[in-house]
Structure formats: C-alpha cells, structure tokens
Amino acid sequence: MSNITIYHNPACGTSRNTLEMIRNSGNEPTIIYYLDTPPSRDDLIKLIKDMGITVRALLRKNVEPYEKLGLDEDTFADEQLIEFMLQNPILINRPIVVTPVGTRLCRPSEVVLDIIPEPQNSAFTKEDGEQIIDETGRRVK
C-alpha cells in the first residue's frame, strides 16, 4: 500500500505525467478521481493549507465555470471560492499530490519529484517529448 495520494484527472496530460513519475519511483499511489469524488470541504481546506498556497492559487482558470461565475473578479472571499470549487470540482487545479514529504500542486508535473521519497527507477520522458529523468535516474534539469 502506497503512502502517496494523487488527486487525478486522467484527461489532463500534466496529471498523467505526474502519475507516471510516481509509478516510475516504484510507488502505486492512491488515485482520487476528484471530478467524480471531490474532496470534502475540510479536506480541500487542509490540502490548500498543506500546500501553503492561497485559495485563489488553486483555482483553474481556463475552464467554463471560471468565466461563467466571474471568478476573475477579485471580489470573492476564500470561503466563497472554496464553495465554488466544491460545487464545480473542475475549478480545482490538478494534480495535487500528497506524500510523507509534503503536499504540492504539481504544475509542472516534475514538481512531484520534490516530494516523492524514492528515486526514479528509470528514464522518464513526458508525453510532449521533454525528457525529465535520464537513463541513470537523475533529473535532467
């Protein structure tokens, strides 16, 4: 059983790359398909706190509810933004990864390397062709 959890959207390339880097370290994470099973209010607040980011920093901007709800206006309190994310989980940016080392919004996906305790087992190239890990298991950049 892994002690790593990923809030995952399989339709998102960044999320898929992040998941594969976790697996490349020999871990099979707990996968939460957050669009189907969004976090509770308390869990969402804890994730934001643990990431050390603002509520607004977790908002995904390039999705329909963001514009439709007028979220680009800086007139909403954090509680309101959290409520919008709970009602429209697509507004939660992803992927969020939780490990014993920390909790991060993994954008770009290689941010996950900072919080996976185990090293990468082999070379890893992102879906777009960018090599992240070389044949020796070292980070390229």
**Cα separation of 141 and 137, whole Å?**
12
Catalytic residue among 4, 6, 9, 12: 12
Going from the C-alpha of 26 to that of each of 4, 7, 11, 135, the distances in angstroms are 11, 18, 23, 16
- Annotated catalytic residue 12: yes
Nearest Cα to Cα of residue 15 among 130, 126, 132:
126
Q: Active-site residue numbers?
A: 12
